[in-house]
Structure 1
Amino acid sequence: MNTETLFEDGTPTRTELERLAQEAKGVVFRNCNFEGLDMSQLDIVNWRFEKCNLSKSSLTGARLEDVTFVNCRAPAASFAGSTLSDTAVDGGDFGNTNFLGARLSTVQFTKCKMTGINLSEVRALDVTFADTLLVLGLLPKFSFRKAQLLGIDFSDADLRQCDFREAVFVDCSLREANIADCRFQGADLRGADLGGVRLTDARRFKGAIISKRQAGDLLGQLGLNVV
């Protein structure tokens, strides 16, 4: 028996969302407008957002469990201090979205535009990214250890102290990213654009795999020629 409630082409209010959250059953929002809406501290379970507008909305401190966003627009939305578990973001624009201090557990980001996203101070477990733009993102101290990174653009991102140990890069870019104090031991970097990367501490790349071309580029910074 299908117990989902469907909302289409509407503009839900805070009061309506609070009622739906209390009913504790699945809800599908399709082509709905949440722009600028205060959704903070809501307890959201088994909701699905399809092609919705969440720009500048606030989910600060909210709990999102088994929630899916499909091709939504959420530029400048706030998930600061929120808790996301078993959540999927599939497509859409989450540029300049704020996840400061959020807790992420089993969260998937796929085919998303997340330019300028703030993932500072997050606590993350089993978070995956695929075919996603993280250009100019703030991801200091984020752990990508043993991750399979597919089609991720980290260009100009703040990756200070990130953990990339044993990660595999496929069709990725680290061009001009800030990788100060990152750990790349054992990583496979052959599928990454390393343009602008500075080899300041070779110990952090111990055991990493790079191509001959990449080696030539990195050693060229030291005035050495690879022949």
Structure 2
Amino acid sequence: MREVLRGLLTAAALVWPANVAMSADDVETFLSGTVKACVECDLSGRDLHEQDLKRSKLDRAKLHGADLSNASLFRASLVRADLSGAKLPGANLNLVDAKWADLTKAVLAGTLLYEADLSGANLSDADLRGAYLGRSKLNQANLTGANLRSADLRAARLAGATLTGADLRGARLDKQNLRGMDLQGINFAMADMVETDFTGADLRGATLAGVNLFGANFHGADLRGANLEGANLTNAILSEAQTEGAKFEAAIMPDGRRSEPEKQQKNQNSAGR
């Protein structure tokens, strides 16, 4: 009998939190720092700037439009949380777990996101200028139209991520794995992409002007119409790459020589015959 009662109590404990909404008093208790959990609570539009929320459990919380600038969310859990339109500039989100979170149009300029788990998160149109995303997980993340200018993405995982229309000017993507990715039309101007792997990637119409591509691998990549003017391609691999219409003016080619416009035009004319 005791075992049956224990089983019923355990089941009730598991089900109860999921079915009961956080009251206003519970939310205020959380904000006072007395408790660390506020699952599914509504904090939309709240002024939480500089708030200490490290290691908090905010899964499925509503934080739409909240001001979290310079707040600490170190190691916080934000799985499936709604942070659309939230303001997080200068916030500490290192090691945060934000899988499948909605960060549409969120302001994350200068935010710390080292080893953050953003797998499957929606970051479309988010402002990530100068954000530190080193070793972060962005697998299957939606970065459509995101502003990643000067962001640090070294060692970040981008497999399956959508980057359509993203702005990656000046971003740090050294040794990044971009194999087979759709990178059409993306602006990478002046980025650092040393030894980046573009094998089989679609870079049609992409801007790679002034990019440091030392040792980059473009094997089988589609570079048709891409702009690589002034890029550093020293030791880069271009085997089986499609380069029709690509611009290489003033670029340093794999053999270390600087491309000359006249020679490039002759080579393209010859290739077109």
TM-score normalized with structure 2 length: 0.73
- SS of the residue corresponding to residue 171 of structure 1 reads coil
- 2:219 corresponds to 1:185: yes
- 2:61 corresponds to 1:27: yes
- 2:42 corresponds to 1:9: no
1:116 to 144, 150, 154: 150
Q: Which of 78-87 and 214-223 deviates more? A: 214-223
- SS of the residue corresponding to residue 48 of structure 1 reads coil
Distance 2:215 2:248 in 1: 20
Is the strand fraction higher in 1 or 2? 1
Distance 2:219 2:138 in 1: 25
Distance 2:152 2:161 in 1: 15
One-letter code aligned to 1:63: D
The structure with the larger Rg is: 2
- SS of the residue corresponding to residue 223 of structure 2 reads coil
2:121 to 84, 87, 98: 87
Query: Which structure 2 segments of 5+ residues have no match?
Result: 1-18, 22-39
The answer as to whether partners of 1:162 and 1:182 remain within 8 angstroms in 2 is yes
The equivalent of 1:209 in structure 2 is 242
Q: Which of 76-85 and 121-130 deviates more? A: 121-130
One-letter code aligned to 1:7: L
Distance 1:213 1:134 in 2: 19
Distance of aligned partners of 1:15 and 1:37 in 2 relative to their CA distance in 1, 3 Å threshold: closer
The equivalent of 2:90 in structure 1 is 56
> 1:61-97: CA deviations, max 9, x gaps?
1111111211111111000122222112010311000
Distance 2:246 2:53 in 1: 59
Q: Which of 118-127 and 211-220 deviates more? A: 211-220
TM-score normalized with structure 1 length: 0.86
Distance 1:215 1:15 in 2: 49
In angstroms, what is the RMSD of aligned CA positions? Answer: 2.7
Distance of aligned partners of 1:221 and 1:38 in 2 relative to their CA distance in 1, 3 Å threshold: same
The equivalent of 1:197 in structure 2 is 231
The answer as to whether partners of 1:198 and 1:221 remain within 8 angstroms in 2 is no
Distance 2:249 2:67 in 1: 51
One-letter code aligned to 2:130: N
Distance 2:160 2:172 in 1: 19
Between 1 and 2, higher relative CO (CA 8 Å, sep ≥ 6) is seen in 1
Distance 2:210 2:248 in 1: 17
The equivalent of 1:78 in structure 2 is 112
**Aligned-residue identity in percent:** 19
Distance 1:212 1:51 in 2: 40
The answer as to whether partners of 2:55 and 2:77 remain within 8 angstroms in 1 is no
Distance 2:190 2:163 in 1: 17
Q: How many residue pairs get matched?
A: 222
Distance 2:113 2:248 in 1: 40
The alpha-carbon deviation at position 16 of structure 1 amounts to: 10
- 2:165 corresponds to 1:127: no
Distance of aligned partners of 1:15 and 1:221 in 2 relative to their CA distance in 1, 3 Å threshold: closer
Distance of aligned partners of 1:61 and 1:207 in 2 relative to their CA distance in 1, 3 Å threshold: same
